[in-house]
Chain A
Amino acid sequence: MNPGLPPAVRLANDIAIQFAHLPFAEGVERVATHMRAFWEPRMLRALLAYIDAGGPDLDPLAAAAAEHLRQPA
């Protein structure tokens, strides 16, 4: 873990690694379901802002899950 990561990124990576053994699409669904059930909306906003800023250290599974949860503007 990189302790310098923004909290939402660190937490998202922690979740993603637990589902890394699954087929990617299933993993995305599981990570997204978990985030939807347990994350306060500003945490997801922070994660999406990190993605939008080109943040390099987000697990691809977590990034895909966050995109899955992105609300239309």
Chain B
Amino acid sequence: MSLLKEPDLGTPGRKGEATVEVEIDGLPVKVPEGTSVMRAAALAGVAVPKLCATDTLEAFGSCRLCLVEIDGVKGTPASCTTPVRPGMTVRTQSPRLEKLRRGVMELYISDHPLDCLTCSANGDCELQDMAGVVGLREVRYGVGEGENHLDAPKDTSNPYFDFDESKCIVCSRCVRACDEVQGTFALTIEGRGFDSKVSPGGLSFLDSECVSCGACVQACPTATLEERAVVDLGMPTRSVITTCAYCGVGCSFKAELKGDELVRMVPYKDGGANEGHSCVKGRFAFGYATHPDRQLRPMVREQITDPWREVSWEEAIDTVATRLRDIQARQGVGAIGGITSSRCTDEEVYVVQKMVRAAFGNNNVDTCARVCHSPTGYGLKQTFGTSAGTQDFKSVESADVIVVIGANPTDGHPVFASRMKRRLRQGAKLIVIDPRRIDLVRSPHIEAAYHLPLAPGTNVAMINAFAHVVVTEGLVNSDFVAQRCEDFDEWARFIARPENSPEAVEEITGVPAADVRAAARLYAAGPNSAIYYGLGVTEHSQGSTMVMGMANLAMVTGNIGREGVGVNPLRGQNNVQGSCDMGSFPHELPGYRHVSDDNVRDIYEKLWGTPILPEPGLRIPNMFDAAIDGTFKALFIQGEDLAQSDPNTQHVTAALAAMELVVVQDLFLNETAKFAHVFLPGTSFLEKDGTFINAERRINRVRPVMRPKTGKHEWEIVCEIAQAMGYPMHYDSPSQIMDEIALTTPTFSGVSFELLDRVGSVQWPCNDTAPTGTPIMHKDTFVRGKGRFVPTVYVPTQERSTRRFPLILTTGRILSQYNVGAQTRRTANVAWHQEDVLDIHPHDAEVRGITDGDLVSLASRVGRTTLRARISDRMPVGVVYTTFHHPVTGANVVTTEHSDWATNCPEYKVTAVQVGLASADAETAANRVAGRVAVPTAGG
């Protein structure tokens, strides 16, 4: 499509059923009560001139350009700040108004460089547009004569956008966007009167609190805040609506191109997940897609010690198929398997699990959700009946109490965090359960009612204590429990036991019982209480138990089945929900149906023309164990860097090295590719055609912005491997794959590309019962019928701190980088995070003689690495924290084989470690050149 310019109605819409009818320039219009005259006019088809107003921000009334005349009202009120009243008659054009507007514009233009023809915003400048609209023909005060700002300095410190103060009209849109949309409050208007200017706190943008979400750039009506790419390349000329490929929020973007060159990504206002907002990754960090490190040709090698040899697609596919069949002939059908990627589309994932089940003839397929949200799948299925979050993101706008457990939304899910922060600023109460004092605990205009800094590994004890308070203090929602749930009595007896009381668990969690009681009462009081959680819940030895514990708590208080409540996993990767939905788990076919179900297998066996094994296949950790054991010999890996992301790196690499064939399909020669025999180049999200499903079950279209740089779509490659193995598998297009998904999966039966292109997006279940999807689940009944209470006995993790390893390490990620960093490290985002660092409490640092910035060794019983320390009182005593974005640090060298008892999800969040000053042996520098610092601990 040509460049899409979304309509701007000037001020935000208002909710409510009451309407007001007014007449604007003779046109009648009916709008919700509270709507501004400006918006009502826009809805009537009348554009009122404006500069400081935009419909993503509350009205400000500073530019004085949107003046109107209203019958019976004195003067010329600003239409943006004037709400409609019944029977109001408005005129937006008159000689008086035209004169006033021209006068305003003359003042603006007198202090604005008239370099329109060479300005980067030429053609996309509201000041330029308004000059035309008001008929400005002269500037009586001259331009640049007298005192002005035309020589104001330009701030180019941010890697993605420029701040050209000389072009600023001080409309405050950027400041308000930072406040209202992003919620960071990094910008301000400094000075008074003529000296007023936009300022990132008196610092450069790069050194300021700015998180580079781009909201200010988007809000700016001039070239003052402009993407560097537009400055360099010029204005884009066409748009493609697509979906971000970073986190599980799944923001919709307009990819704006000039010819075939992608100029910028602009958040799409009609995107259901993000409604026009973005973060630094989705907005700016897409350069990896065209990075020179990308490997675009297939490659093979006999041994992993051999050099790579570029080959044709035919040779690569034949090599994979021949060697897989050869291994199966010698080692058995179950000696091979595949891993699907949460970075890939539903259609790409679906064909991989189909290849494994139909062509490989086993169920040895798993996905990277194994190492993040597999406990969510288990826990929510046991209690509610399906493996997905209960709400849409918008639901948070109706929450009165928000509980954030083991998640750091401002870093991990920043666009959703902005929604959450907006609700918190409106007065919703916040409870944070996290060992670390995450930013949400205290940030501009937000302060948690309770921060419960529990000891790592004690989540279940904490959630049981919450439920204990509810049950023993008479806070149970008895009607909800009686009508909607089962197995309550047994659970209630369990949870009421003294060992689950806040006083009893205080010794376990380290959190004062009084705080727990108060927080539990607050949650129970609601009236709308919502739980949002992340990997700090799932990546524990009792991850699944904790998910069930949260579900119990939501049910016992009736916080399920309506807006503002629910149990909401904040999914890590862009399509982790979809990859799970598509049957990537070794025990489930698409739609979370167990492989032992004859009726379900029958659907696929008939369609695919081949039998499917009724027993589960190997999970990722089981594949590693079997590889070391010698019974698992080949692995197809779609877009996952196991060697960097999975725990206990030595174990992972030993398993990979033990296999006869490792096939890596990826953008880059990642750490895992060092162990690969075949490399199949993958496509970036800008080349893909398909769908992603975000954390709210929203199925979004991913549309190709450019053709595959590799010459083939990933689903085509997989089909060709299957065919080369003798199993016929062919699709003409990804929409055909989705049609097959819809045909075989009841929760997707209404989904098609045609529907998505028509309505934008839908949230599954999408079927005859819910033809346009299901934003809120379990409204009248749970998916499994009755919600099931499950007793959740707290069992301490077996990973304990010891005299040798007295600290507990927990890992996570930060805003500017993403997971193993394969994408973000290849963008200018490195400006904010050039290396992983170890956060350590001042006390723990002092007793070890560590000062800020020191190089320290981090050792567990399985490995050690070296990184820099950052002294931080956001850590509790005894707990240290780092990220895993850089292979040179290799944080997973120290994480262990402990895992969730139900799903094998690794226990990344609890590793006993010791930290000490690194010896001055220049180990880091030397090993960084070699590409790795981390090493196994001698004697393990």
B-binding residues in A (CB < 8 A)? 1, 3, 7-8, 10-11, 14-15, 17-18, 21, 34, 36-43, 46
Contact = CB atoms under 8 A, between A and B. Distances in A.
B91 interface: no
Interface stretch (B61-69, B616-624, B659-667): B616-624
B902 A41 contact: no
Contact of A37 (B616, B629, B904): B616
B631 A42 contact: yes
B616 A14 contact: no
A38 B902 contact: yes
A36 B615 CA distance: 8
**What secondary structure prevails in chain B residues at the interface with A?**
loop
B896 to A, nearest CB: 8
Contacts of B271: none
Interface in B592-647: 594, 596, 615-619, 621-622, 625-626, 629, 631
B793 A18 contact: yes
B389 interface: no
Contacts of A39: 616
A37 B618 CA distance: 12
A1 B897 CA distance: 10
B617 A18 contact: no
Nearest to B631: A42
Interface of B: 334, 363-364, 541-542, 545, 586-587, 594, 596, 615-619, 621-622, 625-626, 629, 631, 791, 793, 795, 798-799, 861, 896-899, 901-904, 940
Contacts of B616: 37-40
A40 B586 contact: yes
A40 B364 contact: yes
Given A38-B616, A42-B334, A42-B626, 6 more contacts: A1-B898, A3-B940, A18-B795, A40-B615, A40-B618, A40-B619
A39 B596 CA distance: 12
6 contacts: A3-B861, A3-B896, A17-B901, A37-B596, A40-B334, A40-B622
Contacts of A7: 621-622, 625, 629
A34 B902 CA distance: 8
B362 to A, nearest CB: 9
Contacts of A15: 901-902
Given A3-B897, A7-B625, A40 B617 contact: yes
A21 B798 CA distance: 17
Contacts of B334: 40, 42
A3 B541 CA distance: 15
Contact of A14 (B363, B541, B594, B596): B541
Given A7-B622, A40-B618, A14 B899 contact: yes
| Residue among B363, B587, B903 facing the most chain A CB atoms (10 A cut-off) | B587
Contact of B901 (A3, A18, A42): A18
A40 B335 CA distance: 12
A10 B651 CA distance: 15
Contacts of A14: 541, 899, 901
Nearest to A16: B901
A37 B901 contact: no
Contacts of B798: 1
A17 B798 CA distance: 11
Contacts of A17: 795, 901
